[in-house]
Amino acid sequence: MHMKEENRIDVKINILDLLKNIVNKEEQYTIPIFIPHRGCPNECVFCNQRKISGMQKNVTVKEVDNIISKYLEYFDGNKKIQIAFFGGSFTGIDINSQIEYLKIANKYIKSGKVDSIRISTRPDYISPTILKVLKKYNVRNIELGVQSMDNEVLRLSKRGHDNISVIRASLLIRYYGFKLGHQMMIGLPGSNEIKEIETIKSLLKLKPDELRIYPVYVINPSELYDMYALGKYVPLTLEEAISRTYVVLRECKRSNVRIIRIGLQSTDEITSNNLGLVGPVCDNFAEYVMAKVVCNVIEENIKNKLKEDMINEIIIHVPLRYASIVVGPKKVNKEYLINKYKKYNLKIKLKGEE
């Protein structure tokens, strides 16, 4: 028997609108080329680029050519293709080496097989001269490893630059017509939720097109691991990392920035089964964060509609394709909502069901 409609709350969530910064990604293939730690003489306390990238050696120009060719064999041609140089500070490499790498990538753009090039680098390795070179070889996206806009956090993390470097580099990149990306970290030494909110607010003023958000993993070996072992650094718990990332995303909702990654990509070295990692290590971190975003909005809707004892039933209507986000990893949202609102006989109903 159905409850009377006046005694029932129907909660309908527009998932696409709610997660517009995350879900609305460009449809393209990416050819990742990892150049671990090349061009970066700095050693941030959290850094172990070889383990993060899953690469143990640098790639040669010939290997770059082979990597691109091999990836192209598997693409069906229905999407745009981008070559991405990750892993180190690309513009810190000797300029002749930069040009060699870029020439190989640009060859595929000229042939029409690839659409664009992406590089990642440090804010203090950007200059008009460098940007002119990148422009010549059809680089489209430049990602800056910002990590924080708090100078004390940058100092404690041994980043080797300040927030003025971030502002200057970002403005130059936009002035020269590149797509600007920022990378931000949650849980750095000396950081807290307030500083991370101020960081994302400062970054959004610079109008980045894209954003990556990474929780800090304590990787062995690294200086941060030594600090952790000595009790000088306490890593975030998984719940803390999810909560603080959620707060950052809440700020992003007010902008058009695209969130292109939440959490480090899993590799053989970066996995929850790796005993050499400490902190909020999770193989599906982004799913937990998105589930929290959705769960909080569902609760806001319920609280706004509840009228003391008049309500006997709550139905949450979910489009089938987004059921996993609403239910949450390991059914974390479903169990939480059903338990909290059990007096209202809460149900999650997939779209199309009767």
124, 9: one domain: no
| pLDDT score, position 186 | 98
Whole-model pTM over 0.75: yes
| Helix, strand, coil distribution of the chain in percent, nearest 5 | 45, 20, 35
**Final residue belonging to a domain, choices 292, 323, 340:** 292
324, 234: one domain: no
| pLDDT score, position 276 | 74
| pLDDT score, position 154 | 97
170, 305: one domain: no
Distance CA 82, CA 126 (A): 21
What are the C-alpha distances in Å from 289 to residues 14, 200, 258, 335?
Answer: 17, 16, 15, 16
**Final residue belonging to a domain, choices 250, 276, 292:** 292
Residue spans of the chain under pLDDT 50: 1, 3, 50-55, 353-354
- Please write the tens of the pLDDT for every residue from 153-207: 999 999 999 999 999 999 999 999 999 999 999 999 999 999 999 999 999 999 9
248, 329: one domain: no
| Structure letter (DSSP) for residue 278 | E
Q: How many of the other CB atoms lie within 10 Å of CB of 70?
A: 10
Structure tokens at 225: 């691991």
Distance CA 53, CA 105 (A): 20
Smallest CA-to-CA distance from 197 within 148, 144, 261, 162 is with 148
**Final residue belonging to a domain, choices 258, 277, 292:** 292
Whether 29 contacts 82, CB under 8 Å:
yes
Smallest CA-to-CA distance from 102 within 126, 71, 131 is with 131
200, 225: one domain: yes
Domains held by the chain: number:
2
For residue 110, give the CATH number of its domain. 3.20.20.70
The H or E element that residue 245 is part of is helix 238-252
110, 217: one domain: yes
263, 304: one domain: no
343, 251: one domain: no
Distance CA 228, CA 336 (A): 33
11, 133: one domain: no
Give residue 157's domain range. 21-292
Structure tokens at 240: 């803390």
84, 212: one domain: yes
241, 316: one domain: no
120, 225: one domain: yes
- Please write the tens of the pLDDT for every residue from 264-309: 876 555 555 566 789 999 989 999 999 999 999 999 999 888 865 6
CB neighbours of 78 closer than 8 A, spacing ≥ 6?
Answer: none
